[in-house]
Amino acid sequence: MAKDQGTKNLMIAIGIVVLAFVVLFSVKLIIKDPKPDTPSGLVVKTLEGEENPETNYMYNGFVFVKNGPLWQTQWRSGNKQYNIMLHHGPKELENITITGDIDDRFHSDEVYVTFNPLGNDLNYVALSAGELSLSLVRALNVMPIASCDRNETPACKIRPIVNCINTDSAVIYLKEDPEAKVDLKGNCIVLQGKGKDIIKVTDRLILQWYGIMQGR
């Protein structure tokens, strides 16, 4: 009963976090699945050595397969196994650079996830925030706090106003910028990119957290 209650509480927490970001961004996130070869069939093909960079391949010991518009793999922590779903597989992300270092303030069970509510590409920022939040809550046991970097929209009036300077807590900043990269700055992780690139840099960080991708 306690385990069932814990699972229920976890799912409620995930739902609350995702709902908070949907309210903040006020966009509809619609993903269409063209239903190609089944993911389980692609896993078998990959394990048998039949790879296709467009649909299925092995990367650092992890099997990646295309599941509709998303890439799927499995990741284990202790005795728990998680299905990881991202918009980009690791082969698409090898040119994304990661610079700097984070400090002990990221050894926390909470992290602020913030953004500019007046940005131009909020649909892509919203997708990035959703993928990031699901991984933080479900697999990494860290609760993201949906935040804004400025108080200039109705939705942000009821959220924390956080940036990389005005707090001593851990912050992940989704920043719209022409240069796509991950910049680690002590208590702040800046995920920057323009348009779809901000999803790429987010997926790059997530795969590094899982230990699937390495290096800078």
Residue 156 falls inside a structural domain: yes
pLDDT of residue 5: 52
Residue 106 falls inside a structural domain: yes
Residue 120 falls inside a structural domain: yes
pTM for this prediction: 0.82
Residue 155 falls inside a structural domain: yes
Which residues of the chain are modeled with pLDDT < 70? 1-36, 215-216
pLDDT of residue 38: 87
Residue 115 falls inside a structural domain: yes
Residue 59 falls inside a structural domain: no
User: What span, in angstroms and rounded, lies between the C-alpha atoms of 106 and 110?
Assistant: 8
pLDDT of residue 176: 95
pLDDT of residue 214: 85
Domain, as residue range, for 130: 2-31+92-209
When divided into structural domains, the chain yields a total of 1
Residue 204 falls inside a structural domain: yes
Residue 164 falls inside a structural domain: yes
